[in-house]
Structure 1
């Protein structure tokens, strides 16, 4: 996509207004073929599906004096507690996941 100076200025204006003051909260959300449920929604069910895993690539060192970085993956697992949708006045929507 090619952006003109006017398009960029319009985008900045929209973002500078911040999100709409009215937000939506969900106990379940379907995105990209994946269904997410909050911990509260799952509390009385036999099967639970409120965990979220994020795989992150990191660089680490054995000590402060080590100059040979080692790259690897780390998985972070948390329980989904809240799903919030921010609406930028119909132009964009951003979904945030809050986790324990």
Structure 2
């Protein structure tokens, strides 16, 4: 979504800090809490019963579903930090998304998008954009998972 420049007030010192780019040392994390949700990477939750690596992001009224592969924190040499989620995304534009006869949405991670190394294949989102979802395996259709949306705690 594009906003007008007039909608924001900029501090010149902030522009200089961001203009220099982030610190070359990147912090990787296994978990992160934001917007009332606790997120983990897929590798951290691999052997656990509760798995909280599912994310959804809405872009222009379209929902995209993914699983968190990596959590990265970029430091801009002050109190300015940006946390990114690197995700495996379902290709919702083709065969990776469907609705069952009861109207529930299902996804299949065998059909992924953003698999390449090109700029258009960027798999990152800002952590502040993420909404948490859970995936429950469908017993009848192997490979397909039901999406369960959750509300944040407190």
TM-score (norm 1): 0.72
Post-superposition shift, 1:12?
Answer: 2.4
**Within 1, Cα distance between the matches of 2:52 and 2:80?**
28
DSSP-derived class of the 1:81 partner: strand
In structure 2, the residue matched to 1:86 is 74
Counterpart Cα distance in 1 of 2:82 and 2:47: 29
Uncovered stretches (5+) of structure 1, i.e. residues with no partner: 58-72
Distance in 1 of aligned mates of 2:22 and 2:40? 24
Query: Which of 50, 55, 60 is equivalent to 2:58?
Result: 55
Aligned position for 1:97: 85
Q: Structure 1: how far apart are the matches of 2:35 and 2:48?
A: 24
Distance in 2 between the 1:80 and 1:21 partners?
23
- 2:18 paired with 1:15: yes
After the TM superposition, which parts of structure 1 deviate over 4 Å for at least 4 consecutive aligned residues? none
- Aligned-residue CA RMSD (Å): 1.7
Per-residue displacement from partner, 1:24-58 (whole Å, max 9, x unpaired)? 1111001122100110001001221211011222x
Q: 1:80 deviation in Å? A: 0.3
Q: 1:77 to 1:2 in 2, by over 3 A?
A: closer
Q: Give how far 1:2 is off.
A: 5.7
Q: Distance in 2 between matches of 1:42 and 1:74?
A: 27
Q: Which has the larger radius of gyration?
A: 1
The aligned counterpart of 2:28 is 25
Please, what TM-score do these two structures have when normalized by structure 2?
0.48
Count of equivalent residues: 81
Q: Which has the higher strand share?
A: 1
Give the structure with the higher percent helix: 1
